[in-house]
């Protein structure tokens, strides 16, 4: 009875912790997206400098990552040669900087709800680029599902009340760069046995992003900032925004580390629907029935894609267990043979 009670308490505690991690990640992801929209939107805080905002985030995250790894030693740095850094981390950093720049720029032109709908194309981009780079194998069933997701997003875009071509191009570009980055992480890092958690990823990638963003910032935003003499740096707004951005990375570390990447995908779907509801009810963005119908189709396609990935993962794990079981059985038989041979020799010696 005691053991059963202890087990039940442990299971309940684990469930509560899992839901807590999910809630924290959803809250922080939700907050960062809405906060970035508030800062960049010309109708709100009216500070349309996405490169500068991204650079502030990267500088802040780089500094805290260095403190956590070098000073407080919360996590251990990954052993990496200079050649590996230049060939693997630098390209990923370049793609990440472009992805962040374009995605933050999209908030100036598009509503939060519509941006979330366009982000449903991420699995399509990741799978397509994976096939092109021979990381994924082409399957007609999967590609059909990708086309259904694209069709749903196209319907949502057709039904968008405040469609902006330039904003859509920026967001689609951000999706393409981010998808390429995710595929290259598997090719350039994971395949070499280099696994970066969100903290070590910031430690290596954030300074690289800062360097790449510096050059377009000099020509695109710095001249405009110089002309804006009335602007003063609000430490409260940009400080809290940067803290939220860094806390989100820590939340990712907790969520994936304590649950799974699939849990994060499911939580992401919940977050997207919450953002759409918030955008419609609080920010007063227009969300049309055609928007919701199209996104609903895309959502079903994404849900099916996640389901297929989960089934494939389970099958892979089951195959590993079978192989391990077979290896253990073979090892057991070999041990039995050796023991019988050893026993026979011992009997001969005794005789």
Tokens for 229, please give them. Answer: 């003499």
Tokens for 58, please give them. Answer: 């990267």
- DSSP assignments along 27-77, one per residue: HHHHHHHHHHHHHH-TTTT----HHHHHHHHHHHHHHHHHIIIIIS-SSPP
195-206: pLDDT as tens digits? 888 889 899 999
Helix (H) or strand (E) holding 12: helix 2-40
In angstroms, what is the C-alpha Rg of the chain? 25
**CA-to-CA distance for 339 and 331, rounded, in angstroms?**
12
Tokens for 116, please give them. Answer: 């979330």
Strand ranges, E, within 201-278: none
Q: Parse the chain into domains and list their residue ranges.
A: 12-338
Answer yes or no: are the C-beta atoms of 263 and 22 closer than 8 Å: yes
**CA-to-CA distance for 18 and 301, rounded, in angstroms?**
26
- pTM for the whole structure: 0.85
90-140: pLDDT as tens digits? 999 999 999 999 999 999 999 999 999 999 999 999 999 999 999 889 999
Tokens for 79, please give them. Answer: 């052993």
Residue labelled with tokens 């449903």: 120
**CA-to-CA distance for 278 and 287, rounded, in angstroms?**
11
Q: What is the mean pLDDT of residues 256-282?
A: 82
Answer yes or no: are the C-beta atoms of 92 and 212 closer than 8 Å: no
Q: Which of 8-12, 115-119, 193-197, 316-320 has the lowest mean pLDDT?
A: 8-12
177-192: pLDDT as tens digits? 999 998 999 898 888 8
Please list the alpha-helical segments (H only) found in 282-351. 289-350
């Amino acid at each position: 009875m005691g053991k059963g009670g202890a087990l039940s308490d442990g299971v309940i505690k684990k469930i509560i912790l899992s839901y807590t991690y999910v809630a924290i990640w959803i809250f922080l992801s939700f907050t960062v997206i809405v906060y970035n929209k508030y800062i960049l939107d010309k109708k709100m805080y009216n500070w349309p400098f996405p490169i500068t905002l991204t650079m502030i985030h990267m500088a802040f995250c780089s500094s805290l990552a260095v403190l956590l790894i070098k000073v407080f030693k919360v996590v251990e740095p990954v052993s990496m040669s200079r050649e590996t850094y230049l060939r693997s981390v630098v390209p990923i950093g370049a793609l990440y900087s472009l992805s962040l720049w374009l995605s933050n720029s999209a908030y100036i032109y598009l509503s939060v709800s519509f941006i979330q709908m366009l982000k449903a194309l991420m699995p399509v981009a990741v799978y397509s680029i994976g096939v092109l780079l021979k990381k994924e194998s082409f399957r007609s069933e999967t590609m059909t599902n990708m086309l259904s997701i694209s069709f749903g997003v196209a319907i949502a875009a057709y039904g968008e009340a405040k469609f902006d071509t330039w904003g859509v191009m920026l967001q689609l570009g951000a999706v393409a760069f981010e998808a390429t980055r995710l595929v290259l992480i598997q090719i350039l890092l994971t395949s070499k046995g280099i696994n970066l958690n969100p903290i070590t990823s910031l430690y290596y990638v954030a300074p690289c992003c800062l360097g790449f963003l510096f050059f377009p910032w000099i020509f695109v935003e710095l001249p405009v900032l110089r002309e804006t003499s009335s602007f003063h740096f609000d430490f409260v707004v940009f400080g809290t925004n940067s803290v939220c951005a860094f806390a989100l990375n820590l939340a990712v570390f907790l969520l994936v580390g304590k649950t799974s990447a699939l849990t994060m995908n499911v939580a992401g779907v919940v977050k997207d629907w919450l953002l759409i509801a918030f955008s419609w009810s609080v920010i007063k963005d227009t969300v049309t029935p055609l928007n919701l119908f199209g996104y609903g189709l895309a959502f079903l396609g994404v849900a099916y894609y996640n389901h297929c990935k989960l089934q494939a993962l389970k099958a892979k794990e089951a195959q590993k267990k079978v192989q391990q079981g077979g290896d253990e059985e073979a090892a057991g038989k070999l041990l039995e043979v050796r023991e019988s041979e050893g026993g026979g020799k011992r009997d001969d010696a005794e005789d």
